[in-house]
């Protein structure tokens, strides 16, 4: 029998926990709940989930601290829940490694759709027949969520790998920051929050230094965006 996808739901509002748990369990997910940040981390360590829904404002340890702690040891997908609607908070959470961000009050059906989308993306897109890309010195696998460069496995969080994979799957094609946000993160941002794309690209480049010698690179098209250029 196929095991259920497990979700850790951390939120200090009991009514939200009960409502979200009800909807997720109706979709067939196994849900564990926590009302404090420290309790969420304890549950995470005892029963590693497939996805975390994480409130930003919680007693014990806030969501940002919990996210930082999770990312030190795990790349399990995390969706942030918060009453804040500030661009800065969105960018901060994404730069720290969150996979998505939804603002309260939210529609529960939208939240479930976001959960399904993130799980689908992090599992490599079951509809994609070809989920591995290869270039000289580089292999990117969405099935395994692994990047190998010059024979070594590169420590690369999901969003960095997904940005790299998306660009590399369209060699020579230029994408704006807004297009990358839409294709990789799956939703739009307001204001200047496309800065998060620049941060992810910068980190990927740092991990793939010397790529030009292999005949490919992530190239900046000034005033437009980025492309994966192959010589």
pLDDT digits (tens, 9 = 90+) for 147-157: 999 989 998 88
Q: Is the pLDDT of residue 116 over 90?
A: no
What is the radius of gyration, based on Cα positions, of the chain?
18
Q: Exposed, middle or buried: residue 175 (CB in 10 Å: 0-12, 13-18, 19+)?
A: buried
pLDDT for position 88: 60
Instruction: Report the half-sphere exposure of 185 (CA within 13 A, side-chain side).
Output: 27
How large a percentage of the chain has pLDDT more than 70?
89
Q: Is the pLDDT of residue 2 over 50?
A: no
pLDDT for position 207: 95
pLDDT digits (tens, 9 = 90+) for 75-92: 899 999 877 666 666 777
What confidence tier does 132 reach under pLDDT thresholds 50, 70, 90? confident
pLDDT for position 84: 64
Give mean pLDDT, residues 125-132: 54
Is 113 or 188 the better-scoring residue by pLDDT?
A: 113
pLDDT for position 127: 43
Q: Is the pLDDT of residue 188 over 60?
A: no
Domains of the chain with CATH codes: 6-122 (3.40.50.2300), 132-230 (1.10.10.10)
The pTM for the full model equals 0.56
Give mean pLDDT, residues 53-60: 92
């Amino acid at each position: 029998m196929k095991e259920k996808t497990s979700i850790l739901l951390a939120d200090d509002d009991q009514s939200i926990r009960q409502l979200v748990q009800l909807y997720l369990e109706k979709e067939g997910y196994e849900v564990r709940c926590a009302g404090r940040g420290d309790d969420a981390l304890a549950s995470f360590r005892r029963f590693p989930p497939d996805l975390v829904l994480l409130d930003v404002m919680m007693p014990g340890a806030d969501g940002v601290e919990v996210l930082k702690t999770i990312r030190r040891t795990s790349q399990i997908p995390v969706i942030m829940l918060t009453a804040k609607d500030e661009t800065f908070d969105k960018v901060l959470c994404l730069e720290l490694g969150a996979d998505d961000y939804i603002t309260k009050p939210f529609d529960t059906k939208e939240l479930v759709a976001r959960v399904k989308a993130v799980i689908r993306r992090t599992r490599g897109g079951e509809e994609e027949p070809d989920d591995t890309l290869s270039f000289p010195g580089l292999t990117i696998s969405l099935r395994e969520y692994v990047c190998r460069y010059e024979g070594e496995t590169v420590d690369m969080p999901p969003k960095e790998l997904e940005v790299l994979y998306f660009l590399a799957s369209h060699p020579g094609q230029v994408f704006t920051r807004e297009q990358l946000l839409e294709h990789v993160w799956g939703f739009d941002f307001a204001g200047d929050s496309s800065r998060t794309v620049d941060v992810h690209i910068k980190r990927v480049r740092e991990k793939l230094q010397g790529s030009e010698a292999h005949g490919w690179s992530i190239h900046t098209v000034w005033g437009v965006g980025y492309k994966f250029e192959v010589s």
